[in-house]
Structure 1
Amino acid sequence: MEVINQHHIKIDREKCIGCGLCEKDCVAHNIALEDGKARVRAQDCILCGHCVAVCPKAAVAISGYGEAPVPDRGGRLEPEAVLGVIRRRRTIRQFQDREIPEAVLAQVLEAGRITHTAKNMQDVSFIVLDREKEKIEQMAVRLFRRLKPLAGLFSPLARRSQIGDHFFFFHAPIVIVIAAKAPIDGALAAQNMEFVAEANGLGVLFSGFFTTAAGASRGIRKTLGIPRGKKAVTTLVLGYPAVKYQRSAQREALDVRYL
């Protein structure tokens, strides 16, 4: 059952210096200056937290969260290093027989949790497949085996593919299904989770096949316990790679227009 917290924006008038930064940065136009102090107009904004983040005196707070805002300590990623990670990134389908430490898995999930979402919906849920992984994979295998003859009529790749018992997860130790109301929110969370996974030495497979199976099978969705109103957006298959790639893959030239 999804728990809905009650959040309220509060402004400490003793701390407020009337700089107006929160008023200028509020996308909902929900803060106004009155008598040299900030005032919240209503409690029905999107609660994006910009007012909390921008205040130089920590005069703005939003109640109902189990954590305090984290101060900005500075520091930025090196652009060339980030590009290098993206350039070298490979889809992994060969995994070591090695468990993922709980602390590493927690970091990967945290990256998904703190990812920004459209309209601050915070609508992303994560289903970690561990003990039930084999059972759920076999549900998807049975489904794809039934569909393979039809798919083979249209796709040479489908005709050549063998739907083995580990067709979806490749013996990986952990699988995370990402569900959301808005697909873009789930996709953004997945990308950030991949960066943290690879920073911890993990390999990642985005299993589009399993995500398709979850969308097509009511039984799989029910077993996963995907929250009502959400759908499986993507599936991350995680484990330590059993293969090392020696160089990057080539890409087509940049396709861009400046208008």
Structure 2
Amino acid sequence: MAEHVINIDKEKCIGCGMCRKDCAAHNIVIENHKARVLSNDCIMCGHCAAVCPKNAVTVSGYDTEPVPMEGEVRLKPEEVLDVIRFRRTIRQFQNKKVPKEVVEQILEAGRLTHTAKNAQDVSFVVLDRKKEELEREAVRTFRKLKVFADWFSPMARRVTIDEHFFFFRAPVVIVILSETKLNGALAAQNMEFVAEANGLGILFSGFFTMAANASPKIKKALEVSKGKKVVTTLVMGYPAVKYQRSAQRKRAAVKYL
């Protein structure tokens, strides 16, 4: 039996055609003033269930129900731009625990993020009891690589890889796994917004991501399944630094054709 099945309640369906018009897979027709699904071979995006004015369409196989929208939900453009404008990568964190409910909100943002072809292929590893152990393993890996990097990069020669080189004593580290970089990156961006809304600062640790993908030992500890890879690592906590202004950026490279 298929994991997810689209069901249409004929009693509730009014044949308005909203589901048919919005179906990306062209998988719904209207017959005798009622909607009918052509095949279960579908991306299961859920648009049909979301758009139905009578809640006649459901998708089976999920352990949560759709959340009804009460009124319009819109962000203020100026505030969104300011969040992006004043966002800085944080490497100085307070010695302050992040509440469990905040971490769960951040994970929920990742879970709810749309994915290409509705793959829903993103998963998360919250480093807790193994955080220091995996950081030490990543340090060992990078110290070996640094010998070669020092030959080519003056910046690499200035860097000291200490025991907290990757996580900077941050209280929370979330590793994002996915089959595609795009889906993992989309999830990470939404998770960052929710973290910022809770007053947290974020570091996207490209270095730990590199070490995790290069080290069989780290991948095994993270239980990276076949077909997936570490896309990015979110290092987060309450900032111990306050920035006073935005950083300058180049002009946007835009063409109107």
Fold agreement, TM-score > 0.5: yes
TM-superposed deviation, 1:154: 1.4
Give the unaligned 5+ runs of structure 2.
none
Q: Are 2:230 and 1:232 aligned? A: yes
Name the count of aligned residue pairs. Answer: 256
TM-superposed deviation, 1:120: 0.2
Match of 2:60 in 1: 63
Quote the Cα distance in structure 1 between the aligned partners of 2:226 and 2:237.
29
Quote the Cα distance in structure 2 between the aligned partners of 1:235 and 1:55.
38
Tell me, yes or no, if the aligned pair for 1:5 and 1:65 is still in contact at 8 Å: no
Match of 1:29 in 2: 26
Amino acid at match of 1:62: V
Deviates more, 1:5-14 or 1:103-112: 5-14
Deviates more, 1:137-146 or 1:5-14: 5-14
Q: Deviations over 1:204-237 (max 9, x none)?
A: 0000000010111111111111122100000000
TM-score scaled to structure 2, two decimals?
A: 0.98
Quote the Cα distance in structure 2 between the aligned partners of 1:75 and 1:224.
36
3-state SS of 2:152 partner: coil
TM-superposed deviation, 1:75: 2.4
Match of 1:213 in 2: 211
**4+ residue segments displaced more than 3 Å:** none
Quote the Cα distance in structure 2 between the aligned partners of 1:20 and 1:180.
35
TM-score scaled to structure 1, two decimals?
A: 0.97
Q: 2:4 aligns with which of 2, 7, 12?
A: 7
Amino acid at match of 1:117: T
Q: Deviations over 1:142-185 (max 9, x none)?
A: 01111111011111111111000000000001100000001100
- Identical amino acids, percent of aligned pairs: 66
Tell me, yes or no, if the aligned pair for 1:46 and 1:120 is still in contact at 8 Å: yes
TM-superposed deviation, 1:5: 7.7
Give the unaligned 5+ runs of structure 1.
none
Q: Please give the root-mean-square deviation of Cα atoms over the aligned residues, in Å.
A: 1.1
Q: Are 2:144 and 1:146 aligned? A: yes
Q: Deviations over 1:34-66 (max 9, x none)?
A: 111000111110000000011111110001111
Q: Are 2:179 and 1:181 aligned? A: yes
Deviates more, 1:69-78 or 1:199-208: 69-78
The 5-angstrom pairing of residues 126-165 of structure 1 reads: 126-165=124-163
3-state SS of 2:104 partner: helix
